[in-house]
Structure 1
Amino acid sequence: MVALSRAQRPNILFGYDGTEENESALRWAVEESRLRELDLVMCHCWHWPYPPGHVDAAVEAIVQRAGENLLREGARKARDLGPGGKVSTLLRREPVTETLVDESDDAELIVVGSHERYRLLNASTAVQLPARTHRPVIAVRGGGAPRGLIVAGVDGSAGGDAALGFAIEEAALRDSDLRVVYGAWEPGAVPDFELPLFTDKDRLFEVRTAMLDEAVRPWRRRYPEVAVRVS
């Protein structure tokens, strides 16, 4: 593990729901906290599923206490796993995505689980969150599959460069290799002046490889210990 070459925001923000599938995301969030030496904020959201005119205060209090107990147990698990800083909890009576976006200003990154089998894909927090926050989002699938190299997709944009920077930081922290991929093989994906490239595959490959090398060069200088391949 290496030290990062820039200042970080103070915490890792983790969306916790207490399910078995979410345990992989919990372990990942704690590991990010440990690798980056940052605090971990565990956030759980609950809601009253009925219209405002149908509130039962006693039952509502029970639901809230259940959320508090769930968070308390989750924080205990996180501390047992050995984070890199203190563990704090946040309980909100709000939708998950909105809450994580609102709480992300101090987050270096956000970790969520990607299971959510009971929800439609377009309603998934793991799908909505990256489109609505300016912070990196890691959606962790369950199963504990072995980890390999890190892959970053770039397109020449500022957002692509930010993704590349995050990917190479992760590779440095995790002692992993990095593969950087550029894929723009449709004429509609490039400016008009580059359209002639699509009649010459060899020239297209040459130009895009040069662009990739240029994009990667400053990051290679910053993290020379990371093995980077481009394609």
Structure 2
Amino acid sequence: MSDAAAVQAPRIVVGVDGSEPSKGALQWAVRQAELTGEAVVAVIAWDFPRNWTGLAPPGYPSFDWEDDARKILTETVDQSTRPDHPAEIHTRVVQGHPASVLLNEAKDAVLVVVGNRGRGGFTEALLGSVGQHLTHHATCPVLIVRGSLPR
């Protein structure tokens, strides 16, 4: 697993947020990459909360949003893939809204893969806002994965 700053094409971009559907999306993308020989770029987006001032009360530990996102991404890749998989997996941690980040990352990709919903508040929704946005605006094919796959 390596950082994907310079990965060009062909590649499959997969959105990861640590949720079960995103783990399923990563598993699907890795299996597809094993069949096609494409690289997988696992992407997690992070941003400051809307009410974030950047100031913490005295004695309150500071929080590193980017580092937390990197940990979630690393753990998800480790938990969702076999150690002996032949696919080339790269990771990207990018600041911004998930839909915008994934659209940008998938500009020249052969495919973008996401779970049917992420960690948002509408857990009963059949399709999350990021997946819906991608299906309307992505310039490459979009695959929405529902749930996790058996390893």
Deviation at 1:144, TM superposition (A): 4.5
Alignment CA distance shift 1:21-1:101 (3 Å)? closer
Q: Is the Cα contact below 8 Å between 2:26 and 2:42 reproduced in 1?
A: no
Distance 1:108 1:18 in 2: 23
- Residue 22 of structure 1 corresponds to 22
Distance 1:134 1:96 in 2: 16
Q: Could you give the per-residue CA deviations for residues 39-71 of structure 1, whole angstroms, max 9, x where no partner exists?
A: 11000011211346x11386342x221111112
Q: Is the Cα contact below 8 Å between 2:116 and 2:127 reproduced in 1?
A: no
- Residue 80 of structure 1 corresponds to 83
- Residue 102 of structure 1 corresponds to 104
- For the pair shown, the structure with the greater C-alpha radius of gyration is 1
Deviation at 1:18, TM superposition (A): 0.9
Task: Using structure 1 for the length normalisation, give the TM-score.
Answer: 0.51
Structure 2 counterpart of 1:78, one-letter code: T
User: Whose RCO is larger (CA < 8 A, sep 6+)?
Assistant: 2
Alignment CA distance shift 1:104-1:143 (3 Å)? closer
Matched position secondary structure for 2:13:
strand
The yes-or-no answer on 1:131 pairing with 2:130 is: no
Q: Is the Cα contact below 8 Å between 1:121 and 1:127 reproduced in 2?
A: no
Distance 2:81 2:99 in 1: 22
Distance 1:121 1:144 in 2: 17
Task: Using structure 2 for the length normalisation, give the TM-score.
Answer: 0.75
Paired-residue identity, %: 28
Q: Is the Cα contact below 8 Å between 1:27 and 1:81 reproduced in 2?
A: no
The yes-or-no answer on 1:113 pairing with 2:112 is: no
Q: Is the Cα contact below 8 Å between 2:45 and 2:95 reproduced in 1?
A: yes
- Residue 94 of structure 2 corresponds to 92
Distance 1:33 1:79 in 2: 13
Coordinate RMSD, CA, aligned: 2.5
Q: Is the Cα contact below 8 Å between 2:15 and 2:22 reproduced in 1?
A: no
Distance 1:143 1:87 in 2: 18
The yes-or-no answer on 1:39 pairing with 2:55 is: no
Q: Is the Cα contact below 8 Å between 1:122 and 1:128 reproduced in 2?
A: no
Alignment CA distance shift 1:72-1:138 (3 Å)? same
Higher helix share: 1
Distance 1:81 1:35 in 2: 15
- Structure 1: which 4+ aligned runs deviate by more than 4 Å? 120-123
Alignment CA distance shift 1:107-1:94 (3 Å)? same
Matched position secondary structure for 1:35:
helix
Q: 1:50-65 residue pairs with structure 2 within 5 A? A: 50-51=50-51, 54-56=53-55, 59-61=62-64, 63-65=65-67
Distance 1:140 1:123 in 2: 11
